[in-house]
Amino acid sequence: MELISENRSFGGSQKVFKHPSNTCGCEMTFAAYLPPQVEFGPVPVLWYLSGLSCTHENAMTKAGFQEHAAKHGLAVIFPDTSPRGAGVSDDESYDLGQGAGFYVNATRDPWKSHYRMYDYIVNELRSVVMSNLPVQDRHGITGHSMGGLGAITIAIRNADLFESLSAFAPIAHPTQSDWGRKQFSAYLGDDESTWAEYDATLLLQEHGWKGDLLVDQGSQDQFLDLLKPEALADMMARRRQPGQVRIQDGYDHSYFFVNSFAGDHVAWHAGRLN
C-alpha cells in the first residue's frame, strides 16, 4: 500500500493510498480519513460509497465528512467506484464501465476480468484497511446514488460485517430502472433472476435489515424517476422495517445535498458504532 497524499484536516489526517488489487486485476486507489482520536487507539470505521462517474476524490473533497468524523471519532473510507486503467474495459457513456462499477461482481465478458467491486469492497479492501490502518473491527456503511445502492445491498448481504447502515438518494430499485437494467444486463447477462442480489428493495423484501435504516432523499432530485425512493419506502412499511426515509424539501442530487446532511449521517453511525 503506497501513500499518495496526506493532508491535515480537523485535527486528523486525510490520506490517499493506492495498492495492487488481485480482485480487480489492476491498481486501485482509495482515501481514508483518520480522526484525531487514533492517537489514543483504533477507532470504528464508516465506509462511504460514491455514485456514478465519481472517484475516491469527489466525496473526499465535497461531502464534508471530515469535520463530523473528527467530532465523533470515526475513520472514513472512500473507495473508488470501479477498476481503472488502460487494460480495463470501458464504455463511452458515463453510466457504464469505468466510474460505474455498480458494486457488482460482473459475470460477462468483457467486464468479468476486472469489474468485481462487490468482492473488492467486502473482502479485499476491508482486509487492506484492517491490516494497515488504526481501526476497530466495527463498521458502518453509507453512500450516495449508485453508492447508496451499494451500501444497502452490501450491508444486507453481509449483516455480520456491518453494524450500521444509511444512504443518500440511493438507486432503490435498479431492476426496474434504467439505472440498473442497462448495467445489470451488461455486467450480469439477461437472466434477471441473477440481478436480485444487487437490488436494494428486493433484498430488503427477502432479508430485511438487522437494525434501523436512515435514508435521505431530496424532493427536487432531478433523477427521482431513476432512483425510485418510493419503492424502498413502501417495502420498509410493508416489512415494518425500523428506520426513516426522509424527503428533504428543495434539495437536488448534488454534493450540496450530501454535505447538508453528512453530519446527521455521521452522528447516526457514531451512535451505533461507539
Antiparallel, parallel or unpaired: β 26-34 and 12-21: antiparallel
3-state secondary structure 209-264: CCCCEEEEEECCCCCHHHHCHHHHHHHHHHHCCCEEEEEECCCCCCHHHHHHHHHH
- What is the grid cell recorded at 6? 496526506
Cα dihedral sign, 157-227-148-209? negative
Q: Is 207 tagged catalytic?
A: no
CA separation (Å) from 114 to 20, 83, 151, 179, 214?
Answer: 12, 6, 20, 21, 32
Given 145, 164, 166, 177, the catalytic residue? 145
Given 80, 199, 221, 269, the catalytic residue? 221
Contact indicator for 164, 74 with CB cutoff of 8 Å = no
Comparing C-alpha atoms, which of 17, 13, 46, 15 is closest to residue 29? 17
Contact indicator for 196, 153 with CB cutoff of 8 Å = no
Q: Is 68 tagged catalytic?
A: no
Torsion angle of the four alpha carbons 15, 32, 126, 189, in this order, in degrees rounded to the nearest 10:
-100
Q: Is 178 tagged catalytic?
A: no
- Amino acid identity, position 63: A
Region at 99 (left for phi over 0; alpha for psi -120 to 50; beta for the rest): left
Residues known to be catalytic: 145, 221, 253
